[in-house]
Chain A
Amino acid sequence: MSVDKLKDAVKQILNEVDIVIGYTEGFDKVHATPLFINTQDKVDQLIWDQRCVHNLASYLPSLKRKKVGVIVKGCDSRTIVQYIQEGLINRENVKIIGLPCSGVISLKKLLKAVDFANIDDITFEDNGNVNVKTEKETKTLSLMDIAPDKCKTCQYPTPLIYDILIGDPIKSDKPKESVYEDIIEFDKKSLEEKLAYWQKVFDRCIRCYACRNACPMCVCQDSCIAESREPHWISQRATLTEKFMFHLIHTVHLAGRCVECGECERACPMGIPVNTLKRKINLEMKELFDYVPGVNPDDKPPMYTFNVDELKIKEHKIG
């Protein structure tokens, strides 16, 4: 797909919306950064390649009262679907430009692959090869080796919801069962082992709230329980209990809502696998309520409803 097609589409919808959110070059060759286009002359700054990692849909709730165009990958589109289910955006105020995607890079993995050398240039080939030029050497890597985990089991390479689709739809070639394989594997550990693991990783947490701030589904904004005094669930002390509490509250707040975009993990400066807990809860929600977040705009999130009878929760033993 040529980026020109994307630019044409953006130019076209710019007449109908206040702003279009896309990607542009970042401060160096490996970073892309969000671009807010409100005038035609900014359109040319648009880029589209494997560096476009951010979930741009995250901006939509804060722009609820504006007409917004947004560029989304398959995984990002689930965020929009979930927003629609939860009534956090008005569908008619959003123009969605969908881009089929066969994987992006994980900066953390890329830097590790080149031994944390400074990267001068990076180019992507259609066959999935990534050429990286560092100050020391030029290396060819396979995209899947440096892609985030979510890309390796991606079920939705083509956006689930869009107004304009640029490029041909891609079908997922990853088995459905692979999505939660790691969770099921991890779950086999004993309770003590699991607790010890989480205590170890959460001990690294510096409570910078980057995971929360990056999360598209964290909707409490300035009312976050992590910093609130009324109610005062957690204190500001940097103890393991308080860190644990924060992450567990975050997890529970995302029960049946997490669209598994992985932004929390991408944003974490301490390399904590924060998405694992949320995916575990998602797996439970799938088994209990037969519900997968962010797939069908007409679905009702199970935690958003009150039903007297639940399919798999046997409450009435009578009659």
Chain B
Amino acid sequence: MRVGVFICHCGNNIAGTVDVKAVAEAIRKIPGVAYATTYMYTCSEPGQDEIKQAIKDHNLNRIVVAACSPRMHELTFRKTVEKAGLNRYYFEMANIREHISWIGEDKEANTKKAIDVVKMAVAKVMQDRPLYSSSFRINKRVLVIGGGVAGMQAALDCADGGLEVVLVEKSPSIGGMMSRLDKTFPTIDCSICILGPKMVDVAQHDKIKLYAYSEIDEIKGYVGNYQIKIRKKATYVDWTKCTGCGACMEKCPSRNAYDYFNFGVAPTKAINIPFPQAIPKKAKIDPNYCRHFTKGKCGVCAKICPTKAINYEMQDEIVTEEVGAIIVATGYSLLDLEKLPEYGGGRYPDVISGIQYERLLNASGPTAGHILRPSDHIEPKTIVFVSCAGSRDKSIGIPYCSNFCCMYIAKQAILTKDHIPDSQSYVFYMDIRSPGKGYDEFTRRAQEDYGVKYIRGRVSRIYPKGKKMVVKGVDTLLGSQVEIEADLVVLGTAVLSNPDAAHLAEKLHISYDTFGFYVESHPKLRPVETNTSGVFLAGACQGPKDIPASVGQGSAAASKVLALFSKDMLESDPAVAKVDINKCIGCLKCVRTCPFQAIKDKELRDGRIVADVIETVCAGCGVCTSTCPCGAIQLQHFTDNQLLAEVNALCLA
């Protein structure tokens, strides 16, 4: 065995706090290490050439690079050793940057730790076995989860690129949050006017198969070959017959149903079409309010429906779709007003959220575009906007900025002045965050041209006084207390992840942060990829995002899928679980614990039952290896003995 070890300076990143020469010296003494050197930037072209040259000159057959995280450059160096004629799995990477040089300042201690870490990598590389990948065919269809603007953009771009798209939307219509907005910043163009045509494109595209009011039940498979079970939720209306005429909605006697589309600004009917531009424009019964379901009698809609589309007996239906890649564009949710008791959220009808105000502004909203406050339907004259209602507040566990509230509050304040010229708007803000193109000019316009009064400071309390709401806060620029008697208060509530984001992440095997936002593969260089190959992200499910950014990500995710599908075959990762059939006792514990259903039982010729790994399905997570009592199932490239060699290198020395 002839191991070559290359220790990277990474400029000053590593060499600044690790004595790389001393590490090389110590490693050179390990039996089996034939060559050890340091290099300024091992990942650079000359750096890689040096590895190739050393393999030739010193007849090396195992390579260790001590540098940055393997997440960064493992693939780079695997390709390098492969080009030099070695198996790509005869390579180990020791992370002495993120794990050592960046986190400690004590050079002596760092150097000692670096020697240990490289020793472990050397021990592991000596145990490594050559592995070979096989290739498999891919299904060039794509699933897009979420029909908001990001999901629609992704679906349209994929479909225009020639791919078949399955688009799943959980609510009765596509359009997402954007379809609820009245106008969009910074151009004040009508939201539905620009979104509507896109929605129609989605509906009419012959490559897009839309499942509205449907959810993902189960995801099986792996990149290239997923089997998706989609639950088509019962609408109690046969959508193949429904023409969207709206007669049922007009005659429905149950008038108190919660209006999800309008965020409860006003009640709706138990059978309804969410909004005039809805796609698909079909009616749906809410069984929580429908008299047929709650009281057992009514049936008005069934009588009135001209196409006899009502079906009270309808059940959820499960359909299976096969795809090769998944784009997740599930969007966001908003902080519940009730979580802000100091602002009277949920207690006072005239304290509403930004999205509710958006519906009050909108011509197809419950007030037909007239701003009327919810309590007494009187036009408000003094309106207070509170930004960061929940956002950037560690005390309620939301330390992050919600990204677009500053901008929509400025927009809403401008629109308010347009609707009610004799009104006065106030905005309480912490900082104005307007870094986009034309954004800062926009917020200035609100202040300078529309007379919106911006008060830098937080609001401490909101309480009623007669018919007014008193907003008590501080003006930190003047250093004084402020009290404003408002007719209506609009809270820029914090953006949250979807309540079921974690569950979907489990199904997709992707990671999410502490707030439930999905984690991208690299925050700068791989913003729409996840660490699960074949699954991509678009829009606010990854973090609060405004429309341009969401659309951009939708297109980016689509381009990633198109690139992935440009090949007919994919290479499988050989670092998967493998069963030693001589050891397997056939208890099949692994079959039951495998989260990917990648293990099946197999009968041998002598009738013995053993476990068998489906290589392409296995994700290499290792649950089975820790489940197997006798160590018969081993994760290739991470076998017990390979890991024990590392532990021994660390502990026995």
Chain A: residues with CB nearer than 8 A to chain B? 65, 86-88, 219-221, 223-225, 228, 230-233, 253, 303-306, 308, 316-319
Contacts and interface: CB of A to CB of B under 8 A. Distances in A.
Contacts, number: 75
A232 B644 contact: yes
Interface in B489-542: 497-503, 506, 512, 514-516
Given A65-B607, A230-B631, 13 more contacts: A86-B587, A87-B588, A219-B585, A220-B585, A220-B630, A221-B585, A223-B632, A224-B630, A228-B631, A231-B641, A303-B589, A306-B623, A318-B516
A88 B586 CA distance: 9
B631 A233 contact: yes
A305 B593 contact: yes
B640 A318 contact: no
B595 interface: yes
A304 B499 contact: no
Interface of B: 497-503, 506, 512, 514-516, 580, 583-585, 587-589, 592-595, 607, 623, 627, 629-632, 634, 639-641, 644
A318 B515 contact: yes
A305 B595 CA distance: 9
B386 to A, nearest CB: 25
A223 B630 contact: yes
A257 to B, nearest CB: 9
Given A317-B514, A319-B499, A303 B629 contact: no
Among A220, A225, A232, A233, chain B packs the most CB atoms within 10 A around the CB of A220
Interface of chain B, helix or strand or loop or mixed?
loop
A149 B639 CA distance: 41
Contact of B630 (A228, A304, A308): A228
Contact of B634 (A225, A231, A308): A231
A318 B631 contact: no
8 contacts: A86-B589, A225-B629, A303-B593, A305-B592, A306-B592, A316-B502, A318-B514, A319-B502
B593 A304 contact: yes
Contacts of A220: 585, 629-630
Contacts of A221: 585
Contacts of B502: 316, 318-319
B594 A306 contact: yes
Given A231-B640, A231-B644, A308-B506, A219 B629 contact: yes
A231 B629 contact: no
Contacts of B592: 304-306
B630 A319 contact: no
A215 to B, nearest CB: 12
Nearest to A250: B629
Nearest to A315: B502
B631 A231 contact: yes
Contacts of B515: 318
B202 to A, nearest CB: 28
Contacts of A219: 585, 587, 629
Contacts of A232: 640-641, 644
A230 B641 contact: yes
A223 B585 contact: yes
A233 B644 contact: yes
A232 B127 CA distance: 13
Contacts of B584: 223
Contacts of A86: 587, 589
B388 to A, nearest CB: 21
A253 B589 CA distance: 12
Contact of A318 (B501, B583, B595, B641): B501
Contacts of B583: 223, 228
Contacts of A88: 587
A304 B639 CA distance: 21
A245 to B, nearest CB: 12
Nearest to A221: B585
Nearest to B597: A306
A232 B640 CA distance: 8
A231 B634 CA distance: 9
A306 B641 contact: no
B469 to A, nearest CB: 31
Nearest 10 interchain pairs by C-beta: A231-B640, A223-B630, A220-B630, A318-B516, A319-B499, A231-B631, A223-B583, A316-B502, A308-B506, A306-B593
Nearest to B594: A306
A314 to B, nearest CB: 12
Given A88-B587, A232-B641, A232-B644, A319 B632 contact: no
A120 B206 CA distance: 93
Given A228-B631, A231-B639, A306 B595 contact: yes
Contacts of A308: 503, 506
B594 A319 contact: no
Contacts of B634: 231
A225 B644 CA distance: 14
Contact of B631 (A225, A316, A319): A225
Contacts of B506: 308
B374 to A, nearest CB: 28
